[in-house]
Amino acid sequence: MTIGATIEAVPTELARGRGGGGPAPTRTVVAYGFWIFIISDIAMFSALFAAYAVLAGQTAGGPTAGDVINLRHVFIETVFLLLSSYACGLGALSAELRQPSRYLIFAALTFVLGAAFLFVEISDFVDMTRMGAVPSRSAFLSAFWTLVGMHGAHVTSGLVWLLYMAGQVVAKGLRPHVLRRLLCFSLFWHALDIIWVGVLTLVYLMGAR
Amino acid sequence: MEGVDHPVFDDRSPGVEEQEPAASVLTYTTGLLFALVLTLASFAVSQTNLLWGPGIPVGLIVLALAQIGVHLVFFLHIGFGPESTNNIVALAFGVWIVLLVIGGSILIIANLNANMMPM
């Protein structure tokens, strides 16, 4: 029995992803590594979610969740973030099809929608500051600002990263390593949506009832 | 070694890019529609009396889990293919950690609160 015959005895669909069929493509390995980072980021967020969940009622006589939440704004934020994710996905498709100009258009859309999300979030934070709902006011507000602010900080760093990636596409073109970085960015941007689903549900929808 | 002409075991050098079957515009559009519908449903459930009052948090959690599933499948392309196996194992570990941290904290703090001396 030759080695070739041994390998052929394993059905392709079973062999791939289980060490058969040679090493996985670099793209798969890179995406897996970045996926592990995302999981660790989600584990970090879980601590903030846990803190918020146990402190949400500890308002120390200050503003409650119902007082500081503007659900209209939150709905607009959610739609902005979803559309931004959609634009990011279409941009990833354009990049895979090696269409840099289309990629840049979708990247610009992704950026504008993400920035619009941040604008609404920051203006809400400014309103909260004006009404005295600052992090030092109560345990609830500390947890609120930390959790929502951490998500906002992630969106901000995502926007910076997006600018950097657009620069790389312009300067280097859609080379394989640039494509892999774009893939990581897409994973990051879509994962932020998953975090936002948690924030939306736990903080806003349950808080504003 | 002659006779080995299986498409996967060709003479590519290790780590060479292969053309992945790209997700389509349809995938992302379907995902967006699902996500928008689930978002609207979440807002409706929280702001109306569609659900029995005490059941609203449960309803919201179910909708959130569905929403997360939609994002995983349509945007992050986590599937049942062999390429996804490792990602799913890592994800399952992450979910375990999240459940431990959040569920454990809520359980322990609720217990402590219940046992506090009356002020």
Segment A51-100, tens digit of pLDDT: 999 999 899 999 999 999 999 999 999 999 999 999 999 999 999 999 99
Quick one: pLDDT at residue A11?
Answer: 58
Which residue bears the tokens 């500081």? A68
Is residue A86 within 8 angstroms of chain B, CB to CB?
A: yes
Statement: residue B112 has pLDDT above 60: yes
| CA nearest neighbour of A29 among A177, A202, A195 | A177
Tell me the per-residue pLDDT of B63-111, one tens digit each, with 9 for 90 and over: 999 999 999 999 998 888 777 889 999 999 999 999 999 999 999 999 9
Longest dimension (CA), chain A: 79
Q: What is the mean predicted confidence (pLDDT) over A102-116?
A: 97
Between the CA atoms of A95, A115, B46 and B95, what dihedral angle is there, to the nearest 10 degrees?
50
Instruction: Give the residue on A whose Cα is nearest the Cα of B83.
Output: A17
Helices (H), ranges, B3-84? 25-47, 56-70
Say whether residue A15 is in contact with chain B using an 8 A CB cutoff.
yes
User: CA of B79 to nearest chain A CA: how many angstroms apart?
Assistant: 13
pLDDT for the residue A164:
97
pLDDT over 90 at A157, yes or no: yes
Percent of chain A with pLDDT over 90: 83
Q: What is the pLDDT of residue A13?
A: 57
Q: What pLDDT is stored for residue A159 in this prediction? A: 98
The rounded distance, in Å, linking the Cα atoms of B71 and B20 is 20
Say which DSSP state A193 is in. Answer: H
- What is the DSSP track for A56-101? TT--TTS--HHHH--HHHHHHHHHHHHHHHHHHHHHHHHHHTT-HH
Asked if B4 and A8 touch (Cβ cutoff 8 Å), the reply is yes
* Chain B contact for A174 (CB, 8 A cutoff): no
Q: Does A49 touch chain B (CB under 8 A)?
A: yes
Show residues of chain A in contact with B36, CB under 8 Å: 79, 82
pLDDT digits (tens, 9 = 90+) for A164-208: 999 999 999 999 999 999 999 999 999 999 999 999 999 999 988
Indicate the angle between helix axes A26-55 and A176-199, nearest 10 degrees: 20
Pick from B27, B71, B82: which is nearest to A18 by CB? Answer: B82
pLDDT for B81: 79
3-state helix, strand, coil in chain B (%, to 5): 70, 0, 30
Q: CA quadruple A27, A30, A34, A36: dihedral positive or negative?
A: positive
Mean pLDDT check: name the lowest of A2-11, A23-32, A97-106, B103-112. A2-11
Long-range CB contacts for residues B77-85, cutoff 8 Å, separation at least 24: B77/B23, B77/B27, B81/A17, B82/A13, B82/A14, B82/A16, B82/A17, B82/A18, B83/A16, B83/A17, B83/A24, B83/A28, B84/A17, B85/A17, B85/A18
The residue-averaged pLDDT of A100-120 equals 97
> Could you tell me the CA-to-CA distances from A24 to A27, A78, A178, B79 in Å, in that order?
8, 36, 18, 17
Q: Do A206 and B57 touch (CB under 8 A)?
A: yes
A61 at interface of B, judged by CB pairs closer than 8 A: no
- What number of other Cβ atoms are within 10 A of residue B108's Cβ? 12
User: How much is the pLDDT for A206?
Assistant: 92
pLDDT for B79: 81
Are the C-beta atoms of residues B28 and A106 closer than 8 Å to each other? no
Mean pLDDT score of chain A: 91
CB contact under 8 A, A190 and B3: no
pLDDT (tens digit, 9 = 90+) per residue, B1-58?
444 444 444 444 454 555 555 578 999 999 999 999 999 999 999 998 888 888 999 9
